[in-house]
């Protein structure tokens, strides 16, 4: 669903004008739509309804407590990558038994905490990690549920920074090594080998890499079954792309339709870890034009949001639409929309054709995923507030940081 629409010449989030939100809460600010988040989660849930399944929302995409709480209320599971994310999910009311714990470098403390809290599964990325979980579980007199994150060596055909399923990436265990580890399961008496997982990359817009990966992993699952190891779940990871500009990623039902024929008739619960596809297009970042500046080469729109608030353009050269909240008449100019941070990489968008005046409000679209979560305090910039629109209601779900917040915890030398 499209949560952000123009009505009477101005952009709304559900039933609230973004200009009203900016007037009350200031800019920059993140604004999310509750209905869009819930609808996207339900799209995954319905798409896989034919089989036992669990949607484990990838917390890293947007870890706001309010977002996690809405998803927990829908019955979501969660994919976490740190002790901090575990704490967030529990505080948001998430069910620990529906948590899978991914990540290549889990610490001893994170592992012990996760066992004590009763998480559903560790997605294990290496032999040393497996040995560490075995050691900690046996000391705690527990049996830890594990899945091996296999690396199916498929080309996800996405940005190299977010491609994870190739041999040369740091993620996962090569399939043949994983298979050998499953066969050695008797060496790990404190571990319960309940599943297998993989995640081949993010912002995928074609189905074939997903299908290739699944086929490779299912072949291993079948060989293990012949050996007497019946895995209970298969976790197909996240990675389904969204439309930022003109991409045409498959919708969750098309994604499910491509995978389900291969999964039917197997006694496997299907887990998935979508992040971006649930929240990206459910959010915008509002920013206001401070100054317009022309050089002989370029026209710059200097706005109050920056790379510290929204890093994706600077880090990946990612393109996110930038729309005027209240479009004005007049001939457009090509603007580089840039922030106040002292870096040439500090841009939100380049060469954007817009008709602008100082003071205009802009909405950077598709900012619900990997937006606020990647924000930093670079240049001692307090991070923006987060707001959740629900119909005609606006909920402040995280207040704007203050400079005092940033300085808490710092100390001068005593002499
Ligand atoms: N599962 C695992 C193990 C992951 O590593 C990730 C994302 C996901 C699930 C969720 O993937 P999604 O459905 O959101 O594509 N910061 C980058 C994206 C990094 C993704 C990292 N892993 C960006 O802004 O594009």
Asked whether the predicted pLDDT for residue 125 surpasses 90, the reply is yes
The reply to whether ligand 1 has any atom less than 6 angstroms from the CB of 274 is yes
Catalytic residue list: 342
| Ligand 1 near 129 CB (within 6 A) | no
136 C-alpha to center of ligand 1: Å?
Answer: 28
Is 273 annotated in a binding site? The answer is yes
Distance CA 290, CA 302 (A): 6
- Residue 317 assigned as binding residue: no
Nearest CA residue ID for atom 9, ligand 1: 238
What ranges do the domains of the chain cover? 4-32+280-407, 34-276
Per-residue pLDDT tens digits for 264-317: 999 999 999 999 999 999 999 999 999 999 999 899 999 999 999 999 999 999
Could you tell me the fold of the domain covering 34-276?
A: TIM Barrel (3.20.20)
Q: How far is the CA of 169 from the centre of ligand 1 (A)?
A: 14
User: Is residue 206 annotated as involved in ligand binding?
Assistant: no
What mean pLDDT do residues 31-51 have?
Answer: 98
Choice from 43, 57, 60 to test ligand 1 binding pocket (greatest atom count within 8 A of CB): 60
Check whether 131 has a pLDDT greater than 90.
yes
Distance from the alpha carbon of residue 202 to the mean position of ligand 1, in angstroms: 5
For residues 220-227, give the mean pLDDT: 95
Q: Around Cβ 128, how many Cβ atoms within 10 Å?
A: 10
Mean predicted lDDT score pLDDT of the chain: 96
pLDDT in tens, 329-348: 999 999 999 999 999 999 99
- Give yes or no for residue 109 having a pLDDT over 70: yes
CATH architecture group of domain 4-32+280-407: Beta Barrel (2.40)
337 lines ligand 1 (CB under 6 A): no
ipTM of the complex: 0.99
Q: For residues 251-262, give the mean pLDDT.
A: 97
Three-state SS annotation for the chain: CCCEEEECCEEEECCEEHHHHHHHHCCCEEEEEHHHHHHHHHHHHHHCCCCCEEEEEEHHHCCCHHHHHHHHHHCCEEEECCHHHHHHHHHCCCCHHHEEECCCCCCHHHHHHHHHHCCCEEEECCHHHHHHHHHHHHHCCCCEEEEEEEECCCCCCCCHHHECCCCCCCCCEEHHHHHHHHHCHHHCCCEEEEEEECCCECCECCCHHHHHHHHHHHHHHHHHHHCCCCCCEEECCCCECCCCCCCCCCCHHHHHHHHHHHHCCCCCEEEECCCHHHHHHHEEEEEEEEEEEECCCCEEEEECCCCCCCCHHHHHCCCCCEEECCCCCCCCEEEEEECCCCCCCCEEEEEEEECCCCCCEEEECCCCCCCHHHCCCHHHCCCCCEEEEECCEEEEEECCCCHHHHHCCCCCCCC
Q: How confident is the model at residue 163 (pLDDT cuts 50, 70, 90)?
A: low
Q: What is the pLDDT of residues 15-31, one digit of tens each?
A: 999 999 999 999 999 99
Query: Which of 21-30, 143-152, 156-165 is predicted with the least confidence, judged by mean pLDDT?
Result: 156-165
pLDDT tens by residue, 53-108: 999 999 999 999 999 999 999 999 999 999 999 999 999 999 999 999 999 999 99
For residue 85, report the distance from its CA to the centre of ligand 1, in Å.
14
Q: What is the pLDDT of residue 161?
A: 63
| Residue 312 is assigned to a ligand binding site | yes
Q: Is 235 in the pocket of ligand 1 (CB under 6 A)?
A: no
Q: Is 58 in the pocket of ligand 1 (CB under 6 A)?
A: yes
- As a whole number, mean pLDDT of residues 361-380 equals 98
How confident is the model at residue 221, as a pLDDT? 97
Q: Which atom of ligand 1 is least distant from the CA of 159?
A: 25
Question: Would 4-32+280-407 and 34-276 be classified into the same CATH topology?
Answer: no
């Amino acid at each position: 669903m499209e949560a952000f629409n123009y009505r009477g010449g101005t952009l709304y989030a559900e039933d609230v004008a973004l200009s009203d939100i900016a007037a009350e809460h200031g800019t920059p600010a993140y604004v999310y739509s509750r209905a869009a988040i819930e609808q996207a989660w339900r799209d995954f849930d319905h798409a896989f309804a034919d089989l036992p399944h669990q949607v484990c929302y990838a917390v890293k995409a947007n870890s706001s407590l309010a977002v996690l709480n809405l998803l927990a209320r829908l019955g979501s599971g969660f994919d976490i990558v740190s002790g901090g994310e575990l704490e967030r999910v529990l505080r948001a009311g998430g069910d620990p038994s529906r948590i899978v714990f991914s990540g290549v470098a889990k610490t001893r403390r994170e592992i012990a905490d996760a066992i004590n809290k009763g998480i559903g599964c560790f997605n294990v990325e290496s032999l040393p990690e497996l040995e560490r979980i075995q050691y900690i579980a046996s000391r705690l007199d527990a049996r830890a549920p594990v899945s091996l994150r296999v690396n199916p060596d498929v080309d996800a055909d996405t940005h190299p920074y977010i491609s994870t399923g190739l041999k040369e990436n740091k993620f996962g265990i090569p399939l043949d090594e994983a298979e050998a580890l499953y066969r050695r399961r008797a060496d790990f008496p404190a571990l319960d080998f309940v599943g297998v997982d993989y995640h081949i990359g993010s912002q995928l817009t074609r189905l074939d890499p997903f299908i290739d990966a699944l086929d490779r992993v299912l072949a291993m699952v079948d060989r293990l079954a012949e050996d007497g190891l019946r895995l209970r779940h298969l976790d197909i990871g996240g990675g389904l792309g969204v439309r930022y500009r003109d991409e045409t990623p498959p919708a969750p039902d098309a994604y499910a339709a491509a995978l389900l024929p291969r999964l039917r008739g197997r006694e496997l619960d299907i887990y998935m870890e979508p992040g971006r596809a649930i929240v990206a297009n459910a959010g915008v970042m509002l920013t206001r034009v401070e100054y317009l500046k022309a050089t002989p080469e370029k026209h710059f729109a200097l706005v109050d949001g920056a790379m510290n608030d929204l890093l994706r353009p600077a880090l990946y050269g990612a393109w996110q639409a930038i729309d005027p909240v209240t479009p004005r008449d007049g001939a457009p100019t090509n603007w580089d929309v840039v922030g106040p941070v002292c870096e040439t990489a500090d841009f939100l968008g380049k060469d954007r054709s817009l008709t602008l005046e100082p003071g205009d409000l802009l909405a950077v679209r598709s900012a619900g995923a990997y937006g606020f979560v990647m924000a930093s305090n670079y240049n001692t910039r307090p991070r923006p507030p987060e707001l959740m629109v629900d119909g005609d209601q606006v909920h402040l779900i995280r207040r704007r940081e203050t400079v005092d917040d940033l300085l808490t915890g710092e100390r001068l030398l005593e002499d």
